[in-house]
């Protein structure tokens, strides 16, 4: 959930003021919190806005208003989970009530796993889609069910999805994550939290843990983080979005065009100033996280008061006692609000489902963000919006039955798109070389230009397929300025080719001269350019001379100081073997492993090169390498070396097992490019 700044500020003063501020923000007439929203009637009123259906372009756009008169029957479920050894059983996992199937907080805590991300520990839950089975935390098995990722809002955690996980897990593989600074994940002191950090965390989680196209489901700021992630991601990672009362920013200061927020802005600025005083911030945080204050805040944002139970209060309160929780609170409340969904949604071409509780005091339906999303279905054909009457800021926990009633059919319709796109059609492998000087790395971005975006543009012209249908994936997401001689990528087409030399020549004809397809071949259905890779070889070139060779200036780092290559080789030996490379994980690096303990490192080579350069200059001794590795802290590395420039780095090759490189039957042979015969035409200038 996302506790609004107006309510939090007032709560530090008094409980009554907190509720009043929340109601002021809502500014609605005729909403009686004591009205019966759970009447057991069999009628359901659904209002379709026909104006959006008038044109052929918008024939699929839907806006619905769902009342609370319908109480769907909740099926009972006896859940059984067996460990990998088959010796442990859990009977009657979770509980069934009028709010649906629910997991206990204890059960969630017991099943959570840990994942290392940029040197921080992130907590996540994985519940596989086998009916009546909950994943054992020690199991590494995978499920064939399509994956979903649940992302909580401000102040919440994985357990806030307690009433959704089991219902969704009957048909899907459900992942839920504690964002950095929340739940059981790390809360680093002094960390500057931003929406972009959380969005990158989501993308890396999909890339390293899920490893399949995923539907993102978020609430409040979790929704906004999902929108940012989807706008930055290629179609191979995110396949759909479900937004539950999407926030307008990391904090309410983003929504400056709402008169209710403008009215409170002076209070926000004063509050920010006060929070910068540690003693005052500690006092306010302690008051906000008291059980009675939390209960009052939750009651003000939930339409169904029965959903505000002691477990919910514990879900919010428990992580607030962790070390670093105060720093996270201050950073998020006083930090920059970050991107606005109004700016981001035009980039989204994925199917989107928006569910909005109409009693939300923080992002009201008639506010700027709610109004914007209300108008989108008339403009975007693959987007649906349902308004849930009598529901507050956290629909999934407030009225899970209403959320499931809309979410499950939407997911069922989306199911064919969630299936592995590589199972149907033909897969093709490319070996690509490029000069990365003028590109912002490999990974797709609308702008500035990236290798992937330019290759995709050429492929769409040749294959006549949409970008999202190509599913182009590269083996390594090289950073800005990094070059490649042996980058490997794959893409998918619904048709076969008789010969590949024609498409090979056409691709190179459309691509700029600093990108070349060296090789193109058929690929087995199970081949994946990134996840099938066994190893990668990178070279970093250092030009050690007082005068730089002008022809090498874009491809080698110029070092004017004489280097002692012997001590550099001695120091480099410390990298060989199994180590925790957390100290060398660059915060901006996109090609990282889910576990920093590796036999062969897959981290920021420029960090390692920088350290070796300092050793080669004899500024520090070679034995500093194992000491820095032992700290598992990038701050220790930063004390002695800054990253080396990226232009000296080149991806030389990617290797795969033989079974991944086998050519499927009935496909054309590998194309290495056409060899043109010598022309007999005599040209006068030759």
Active-site amino acid positions: 479
Neighbour-count burial of 661, counting CB atoms closer than 10 A to its CB (0-12 exposed, 13-18 middle, 19+ buried): middle
Which of 673, 411, 384 lies closest to 517 in space, CA to CA?
673
DSSP code, position 70: B
Q: Which two tokens stand for residue 191?
A: 């960390």
CA distance 475 to 75: 44
Cα-Cα-Cα-Cα dihedral sign, residues 199, 205, 207, 211: negative
Cβ-contact 219, 229 below 8 angstroms: no
What backbone phi and psi angles, to 5 degrees, belong to 271?
A: -60, -40
Distance (Å) of CA 26 to CA 39, 81, 396, 399? 24, 44, 20, 19
Between CA 134 and CA 145 the distance in angstroms is 13
Query: In the structure encoding, which two tokens stand for residue 113, read together?
Result: 């796993």
Q: Which two tokens stand for residue 536?
A: 């990668």
φ, ψ at 494 (rounded to 5°) = -80, 0
- In angstroms, rounded to a whole number, what is the distance separating the alpha carbons of residues 280 and 356? 35
Say how far apart CA 489 and CA 498 lie, in whole Å.
21
Residues 543, 549, 555: CA angle, nearest 5 degrees: 60
CB burial readout 393-413, b (16+ within 10 A) else e: bbbbbbbbbbbbbbbeebbee
Query: For residue 398, how far is the Cα from the chain centroid?
Result: 25
Taking phi first (over 0 means left), then psi (-120 to 50 degrees means alpha), and beta for anything else, what does residue 183 get?
left
Residue indicated by tokens 């539950």: 244
Q: What is the DSSP letter of 670?
A: P
**Burial grade of 105 (CB within 10 A; 0-12, 13-18, 19 or more):** middle
Query: Which two structure tokens, joined as six digits, stand for 411?
Result: 């997911």
Residue of 131, 132, 88 whose CA lies nearest to 110: 88
> Is 260 exposed, middle or buried, given 0-12, 13-18 or 19+ CB atoms closer than 10 A?
middle
Hey, what's the torsion of the CAs at 195, 443, 535, 572, to 10 degrees?
-70
Report yes or no: 311 and 106 within 8 Å, Cβ to Cβ.
no
Are the C-beta atoms of 61 and 381 separated by less than 8 Å? yes
Q: Which residues pair with 656 in a beta bridge?
A: 533
Q: How many residues are there in the chain?
A: 686
Cα dihedral 320, 321, 323, 324, rounded to 10, equals 20
Which ranges of 376-441 would DSSP assign to H, the alpha helix? Answer: 395-398, 400-418
State the greatest distance between any 2 C-alpha atoms of the chain, in Å, as a whole number. 94
Rounded to whole angstroms, how far apart are CA atoms 404 and 50? 24
């Amino acid at each position: 959930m996302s506790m609004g700044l107006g309510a939090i500020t007032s709560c530090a003063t008094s409980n009554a003021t907190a509720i009043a501020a929340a109601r002021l923000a809502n500014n609605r007439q005729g909403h009686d919190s004591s009205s019966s929203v759970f009447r057991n009637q069999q009628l359901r009123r659904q209002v379709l806005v026909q104006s959006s259906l008038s044109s052929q372009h918008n024939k699929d756009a839907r806006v619905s208003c769902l009342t609370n008169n319908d109480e769907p029957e909740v099926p009972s479920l006896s859940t059984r989970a067996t460990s990998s050894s088959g010796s442990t059983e859990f009977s009657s996992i979770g509980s069934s009530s009028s709010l649906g199937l629910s997991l206990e907080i204890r059960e969630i805590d017991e099943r959570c796993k840990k994942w290392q991300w940029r040197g921080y520990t992130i907590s996540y839950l994985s519940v596989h889609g086998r009916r009546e089975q909950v994943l054992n935390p020690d199991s590494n098995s995978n499920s064939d069910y399509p994956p979903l990722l649940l992302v909580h809002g401000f102040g919440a955690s994985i357990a806030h999805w307690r009433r959704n996980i089991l219902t969704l897990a009957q048909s899907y593989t459900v992942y839920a994550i504690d964002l950095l600074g929340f739940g059981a994940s790390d809360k680093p002191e002094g960390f500057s939290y931003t929406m972009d950090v959380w969005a990158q965390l989501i993308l890396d989680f999909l890339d390293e843990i899920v490893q399949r196209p995923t539907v993102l489901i978020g609430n409040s700021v979790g929704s906004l983080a999902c929108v940012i992630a989807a706008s930055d991601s290629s179609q191979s990672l995110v396949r759909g979005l479900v937004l539950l009362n999407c926030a307008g920013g990391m904090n309410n200061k983003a929504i400056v065009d709402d008169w209710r927020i403008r009215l409170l802005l002076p209070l926000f600025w004063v509050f920010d100033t006060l929070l910068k005083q540690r003693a005052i911030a500690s006092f306010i945080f302690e008051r906000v996280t008291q059980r009675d204050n939390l209960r009052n805040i939750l009651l003000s944002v939930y339409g169904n008061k029965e959903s505000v139970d002691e477990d919910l209060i514990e879900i919010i309160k428990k992580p607030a006692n962790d070390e670093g929780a105060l720093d996270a609170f201050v950073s998020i409340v006083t930090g920059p609000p970050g991107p606005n969904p109004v700016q981001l949604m035009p980039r989204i071409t994925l199917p989107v489902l928006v569910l909005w509780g109409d009693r939300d005091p923080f992002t009201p339906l008639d506010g700027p963000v709610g109004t914007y999303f209300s108008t989108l279905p008339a403009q975007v054909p693959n987007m649906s919006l349902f308004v849930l009457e009598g529901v507050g800021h956290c629909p999934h926990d407030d009225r899970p039955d209403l959320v499931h009633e809309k979410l499950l059919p939407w997911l069922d319709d989306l199911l064919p798109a969630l299936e592995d796109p590589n199972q149907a059609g033909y897969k093709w492998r490319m070996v690509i070389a490029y000069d990365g000087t003028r590109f912002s790395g490999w990974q797709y971005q609308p702008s500035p230009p990236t290798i992937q975006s330019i290759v995709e543009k050429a492929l769409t012209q040749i294959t006549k397929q949409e970008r999202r249908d190509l599913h182009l994936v590269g083996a390594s997401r090289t950073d800005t300025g990094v070059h490649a001689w042996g980058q490997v990528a794959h893409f998918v087409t619904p048709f076969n080719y008789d010969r590949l030399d024609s498409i090979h020549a056409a691709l190179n004809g459309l691509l700029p001269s600093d990108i070349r397809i060296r090789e193109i071949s058929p690929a087995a259905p199970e081949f994946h350019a990134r996840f099938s890779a066994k190893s990668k070889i990178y070279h970093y070139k250092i030009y050690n001379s007082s005068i730089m060779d002008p022809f090498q200036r874009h491809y080698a780092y110029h070092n004017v100081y004489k280097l002692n290559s012997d001590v550099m080789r001695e120091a480099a030996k410390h990298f060989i073997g199994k180590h925790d490379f957390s100290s060398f994980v660059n915060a901006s690096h996109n090609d990282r492993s889910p576990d920093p303990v590796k036999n062969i490192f897959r981290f920021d080579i420029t960090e390692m090169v920088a350290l070796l350069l300092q050793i080669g200059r004899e500024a520090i001794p070679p034995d500093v390498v194992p000491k820095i590795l032992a700290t598992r802290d990038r701050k220790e590395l930063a004390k002695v070396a800054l990253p080396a420039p990226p232009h000296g780095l080149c991806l030389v090759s990617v290797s795969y097992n033989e079974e991944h490189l086998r050519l499927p039957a009935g496909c054309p042979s590998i194309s290495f490019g056409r060899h043109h015969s010598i022309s007999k035409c005599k040209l006068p200038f030759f």
